[in-house]
Structure 1
């Protein structure tokens, strides 16, 4: 009986101590508590919250140099200042501030692959969107001659090894940019009997081309079209 009373008293004391400790921690207010949730109170709408937040927006001042940003920064990063190519590209940017040489080269690489593949496949629709009228007529004539003879081109575009922007000029309202492209291609041409008459179906050949693209800088159309091709062997 005595031991029972002792254990009972021990747990009662322990319970009181724990209660006081919890109260000292849980009952303490820090000033950052959320108010009790009242399901019947009016809830703030998203529009009201947005309106309140707009009153807290602070407009940041412009950074120094924003208004005097170098318009030729992309050109100077692409090719050293003072070089002939740099001067040509600066002239182009004066008339077409949106021109970026790095982006142009990336776009020209994609256009080159599309044109080479489309020519091999006889895809006139794709070619018409990428070539000037004069260049398209030349490509179309070559495709038509191939078709009239029953010849078939089987081509695999391996990739572009190198693409260098080598010149730029502005003629009236037309911007011209020239790029030298070194690509790798597997191409073989067969006659209507299936005999190989040109190229090699297994050998990867290196192709060196110099292509010129043009765009009317007065037009809202940002696309460039191929206006001249030259093979360097």
Structure 2
């Protein structure tokens, strides 16, 4: 056999081998379609099922916290409720002085306005409609406020802490 024939035969074998490998890698046109699913990026938010009574339990606790904080503020003894306040809220309330002629009466209604998760904190905004008594004018005042409560998601402390107060009316 001549060297030219061997060269052609060698190139033919290589070509057949390459065609076979390409066909096995790329597939064929016999109508078989293979779906390759990509993995989705994991989101940091994981929704969980929250029992229905959780919000009512939270509002009961928020109403009690409201009463305790307002009464401590009016009695100029805000240190008494420091476990219910963030350090910033504690400093702000310690520096401010409560008017002596206004006395807290009761929480008329409360409702959760917002419930969200930011970074590692859980945040709830609560709207309080309350009655206060003006001793000087002998009248009842209706006050509407939005209070923001926060809690570290991984905290073992069950208490939510007040971090903001917004006077609505």
Q: What range describes the TM-score normalised by the shorter chain of this pair?
A: 0.5 to 0.7
Quote the residue 2:49 is aligned against.
71
Quote the residue 2:85 is aligned against.
131
Rounded Cα–Cα distance in structure 1 between residues aligned with 2:137 and 2:84: 27
Question: Does residue 1:156 correspond to 2:156, yes or no?
Answer: no
Quote the residue 1:22 is aligned against.
none
For the pair shown, the structure with the greater C-alpha radius of gyration is 1
Going by fraction, where is strand more abundant, 1 or 2?
A: 2
Is 1:117–1:155's contact at 8 Å kept on the other side of the alignment?
no
- TM (norm. structure 2) is 0.66
Please give the per-residue CA displacement for 1:65-88, whole angstroms capped at 9, x wherever unaligned: xxxxx93441xxx7xxxxxxxxxx
- TM (norm. structure 1) is 0.49
Q: How many residues align?
A: 122
Quote the residue 2:40 is aligned against.
none
Going by fraction, where is helix more abundant, 1 or 2?
A: 1
Rounded Cα–Cα distance in structure 2 between residues aligned with 1:169 and 1:73: 16
For 1:1-233, list aligned pairs within 5 A: 71-74=49-52, 100-143=54-97, 153-187=100-134, 200-233=136-169
Rounded Cα–Cα distance in structure 2 between residues aligned with 1:216 and 1:114: 22
Is 1:120–1:154's contact at 8 Å kept on the other side of the alignment?
no
Rounded Cα–Cα distance in structure 2 between residues aligned with 1:187 and 1:136: 25
**Displacement after TM superposition at 1:102 (Å):** 0.9
Aligned CA-pair RMSD: 2.0
Please give the per-residue CA displacement for 1:134-161, whole angstroms capped at 9, x wherever unaligned: 1111111113xx7xxxxx6144322111
| Unmatched 5+ stretches in structure 1 | 1-69, 79-99, 147-151, 189-199
| Unmatched 5+ stretches in structure 2 | 1-47
